[in-house]
A and B are shown apart, each in its own frame.
Chain A
Amino acid sequence: MKKIRCVMHTAGADSVVETLQHLGVMELTEVTDPDVTPRRKTKFEIDHQASQAEHVVSFLSTYQPHSLLSDLLEQGRVSTSEREMEQLMQTFDYRDLIERSSELIEKIHTSEALLEQKKQEREELKKWQGWHDTLSSPTETGYTETLFLSGNKDTLDSAEEEMNDYPFYAPLRSSDTTLALVYLKEDQQATRSLVTSHKLDTVTLPERDELPEEAIHTLSREVEEVEKTLETLHKDAKHLSRHLPKLKVVSDQLHWRKEQSDVVEGSFGTEQCLVVEGWAPERSLETVRKRIEEKTELFDLYEIDPTEDEEPPVEIENNAYIRPFESVTRLYGLPGTNDLDPTPYFAGFFFVFFGICLSDVGYGLVLSIISGSLLFFYNITGTARLFLQLFMAGGVSSLIAGLFFGGYFGVDIALLPEALQRIQYFDPIASPLPIFYFALALGVIQIITGIILDIVRSNRVGEFREGLTDQGPWLLLFFSLILWGAHAAEYIAGPDTVYTALILTSLFLIVATGGRTYPKLWQRVSMGVVSLYTVVNYLSDILSYSRLLALGLATSALAYSVNLIALIAYEGTPVVGIVVMVIVLVIGHSFNLGVNLLGSFIHTARLQFVEFFGKFIKGTGRVFTPFHREERNTILKN
């Protein structure tokens, strides 16, 4: 990853920025060149057009039928190619369409607001139906005033009682929650205190030249009219929405042009020149230069030194078989700049562990088929695609594991053909211990790999000797313990003393190198002994792998239970027994698959993150975010 500066003449700036966006390999940063200053932003029109187009797209989308699954997987994006896009932009009159749509949106919003208002007014007036005067008549006469009050039933009841006691009050109870009061002006103070003491609200009625009942009728008519207008407007919108796919393409194109102009306008420069700076992978530089040269010669792209505290962003790249596992790495966070990309190293382990956790031929098959179908029938991009590919691979692994563990939708293997029974190597329920030791052994292998990778990492940062002295003795300890174990189980020959000697040597080396950074000898020795404590960490790491056994067991146990319940349902229900059994089977096994899929994925991932990554990944990197064409409404194919 190199720090880059690109200087271009204003005449060629547009072409250069467009090419950078299309290639999508450069992340842009603040310009640090001391000889240039920021330019002023002048283009407004392109911003306005782009945001208007996006607004219209989201509005019209509500008028198109939605399929939940395709929304979820494709986010309603349209598939297209670069050439199709160019053609469309030249032939399609989008400006007019966007204008018309925007006007329509305005009208719809106004009508909807008007409708709301009228409905509310009508609701309000319904409470005053008993009022015997036109609404616009003055509430003040020579001697009296009228108040319109509202409150809840109980407070109004008690207020009305009080008013009835006084002969010079004329209350009219219009409804449970409303009351009109005519009072003498001289009683104004008393009335006010009565109103506040009962916590009533004063209402102002709308000014209409009609009685409340008449007003309600007029309003109902008006509401009907507005609703009719709205219906026509909605129909127009639906008619316009048939242009939606084209509009989506247009909106994305406009958005990209806006982003390009943002870069050009917001960059630093002089009168004739523009400067942008950023990060790009080293191997992409040639391509960038060549592609820009095809359009214009008025530029220069060169590498500069990053400032003191600047950290380059990180990106990882793997081949097509490893790439699905990147989804797991990204979940944790990309490794730091000086770390290794762990993906190719844990891919194999993840594949195997996932299979052991979900060990079932049936579930593996279902998982692979569903993931594969989704990938095939829908255009899915990004991390979702990686996850589906990962699950597809995981399904295959579960299938293989299921063959060896004897898991077939939880069916007792004794009921299945001989051939399958012979393939089965482990029986989780009858003898879990071999699987337990197998899981631990896999753990030991992964931990040893982690230690070796740490040595590789230290070599990368030029500290090979340090790394070797740190981790070498531990590696030796592991291998000597394995050899000793193999000897104890009589797989290899030789005198006992050789193996014990190896173990003791490695222990000695650990103590000898553990405290070597300390100045005084007694410190070195004591810290060396203390460093033996890491044995505890390794032990805990290894035991953590026993979860592989547990998760595999959980899947089998649940599957077996589902079958048991289905059988009971079948025998217990008359006539439709078989239907009930099928329903129980489908729901039960789907649930089991779902729960154990989640569990297997999470715990397998956790094993990688905690026990494996912890050995050789020292930092987290900032993700590389290149300037590129954001496919918000479209999916670009080549």
Chain B
Amino acid sequence: MEITIGVGLVFAGAAIAAALGFSGSALGMGYAGQAASGVLSEKPQLFGKMLLMQALPGSQGIYGFVGAFLILNFAGILGGEPAVISTAAGLQFLMAGIPIGVAGFFSGMFQGRVAAAGISMIAKDEGNMGRAIILSVMVETWAIFGVLISFILLTSM
């Protein structure tokens, strides 16, 4: 694999997708985790449900991971045949990393906030679990579209 600016840009694209996705999830799960700790100090029997609610904002990290992986794969750096990547091509890969990265970051963060609120809902009434999950997952829709657009950008090259 020849090291060119293009390759650097591909790496940047993958890095953005991964790093922002992971950070979004970390923030989101952090919010949710704090709320969950509060609930568990009063009702330790809810641990399973709390763990599930905290795991919900983790999806963005996974999508970021998938995005980075697909970028590296489509560029031929990971698996596949490595080709010479021009600066222009590298730029395309960089752009492909942005939708999932940025969308993952913000949706992860806000999904965490909704999850935290949902955790309070569950603390008051365990039967609210389903509703809390659905409210939280609504935010994730945009991360999914981020993955979709990133994917479309990659396959359109």
User: Which residues of A approach B to under 8 Å, CB–CB?
Assistant: 331-333, 427, 429-433, 436, 536-537, 539-540, 543-544, 546-547, 549-551, 553-554, 599, 602-603, 605-606, 609-610, 613-614, 617, 620, 622
B52 CB contacts on chain A under 8 angstroms: 331-332, 602, 605-606, 609
Q: Which residues from chain B contact A540 at a C-beta distance below 8 Å? A: 140-141, 144-145
**Number of residue pairs A-B, CB distance < 8 angstroms:** 88
Find out whether the CB atom of A613 lies under 8 angstroms from the CB atom of B144. Answer: no
Q: Are B59 and A431 in contact (CB under 8 A)?
A: no
B129 lies within 8 A of A432 (CB)? no
A-B contact pairs, 21 of them (CB 8 A): A331-B48, A332-B52, A429-B78, A432-B79, A537-B141, A540-B144, A543-B144, A543-B147, A546-B66, A547-B59, A547-B66, A551-B62, A599-B58, A602-B51, A602-B58, A603-B55, A603-B62, A606-B133, A610-B133, A610-B137, A614-B130
B73 at the interface (CB under 8 A from A): yes
Which among A429, A549, A614 is the interface contact of B134 at CB below 8 angstroms?
A614
* A610 and B69 within 8 A (CB): no
B residues near A603, Cβ cutoff 8 Å? 55, 58-59, 62
* Chain A contact surface mostly: helix
Neighbouring B residues of A599 by C-beta, 8 Å: 58
Q: Is the CB of A431 within 8 A of B145?
A: no
B70 within 8 A of A: yes
Residues of B within 8 A of A550 (CB): 62-63, 65-66, 69
With contacts A332-B130, A536-B141, A614-B134 known, is A606 near B56, CB below 8 A? yes
A326-B51 Cα distance, complex, nearest whole Å? 18
8 closest cross-chain pairs (CB), A and B: A430-B79, A602-B55, A620-B127, A550-B62, A543-B144, A550-B66, A540-B144, A540-B141
Measured CA separation A537–B145 after assembly (Å): 11
Could you list 11 further interchain pairs (A-B, Cβ under 8 angstroms) beyond the known A433-B70, A614-B130? A433-B73, A436-B66, A436-B70, A543-B144, A543-B148, A550-B63, A550-B66, A602-B51, A602-B58, A603-B62, A620-B129
Cα(A581)–Cα(B131), bound, Å: 48
Residue of B nearest to A614 (CB): B134
Distance in Å: Cβ of B98 to nearest Cβ of chain A = 18
B interface list, Cβ under 8 A from A: 48-49, 51-52, 55-56, 58-59, 62-63, 65-66, 69-70, 73, 78-80, 126-127, 129-130, 133-134, 137, 140-141, 144-145, 147-148
For B70, what are the chain A residues with a Cβ–Cβ distance below 8 Å? Answer: 432-433, 436
Partner of B130, one of A430, A543, A549, A613: A613
Cα distance A609–B73 in the bound complex, in angstroms = 31
List residues of chain B with CB within 8 A of the CB of A436: 66, 70
How far, in angstroms, from A602 to B130 measured CA to CA in the complex?
Answer: 15
**Which A residues are in CB contact (< 8 Å) with B144?**
539-540, 543-544
Contact partner, B80, options A430, A613, A614, Cβ 8 Å: A430
Contact A549 B66 (CB under 8 A): yes
Q: Chain B CB within 10 Å — which of A536, A551, A602 has the most?
A: A602
A333 close to B129 (CB less than 8 A)? yes
CA distance A592 to B48 in the complex (A): 21
Residues in A with CB closer than 8 Å to B62 are 547, 550-551, 554, 603
In the bound complex, CA of A550 to CA of B100 (Å):
14
Inside 8 A of B48's CB, which chain A residues have their CB? 331
Assuming the contacts A429-B78, A544-B144, A546-B147, asked whether A606 and B134 have C-beta atoms less than 8 A apart, the reply is no
Q: A333 to B59, Cβ gap below 8 A?
A: no
Shortest CB distance A547–B (Å) = 5
CB distance from A100 to the nearest CB of B (A): 35
A429 touches B79 (CB 8 A): yes
Contacts of B147 in A (CB 8 A): 543, 546
Least CB separation from B125: chain A residue = A620
- Closest Cβ–Cβ distance, residue A286 to chain B (whole Å): 32
Which residues of B are found within 8 Å of A433, using beta-carbon distances?
70, 73
- State the CA gap A85–B43 with chains docked (Å): 34
User: CA separation between A551 and B65, bound complex, in Å?
Assistant: 9
Chain A residues closer than 8 Å to B51, beta-carbon distance: 602
A333 touches B56 (CB 8 A): no
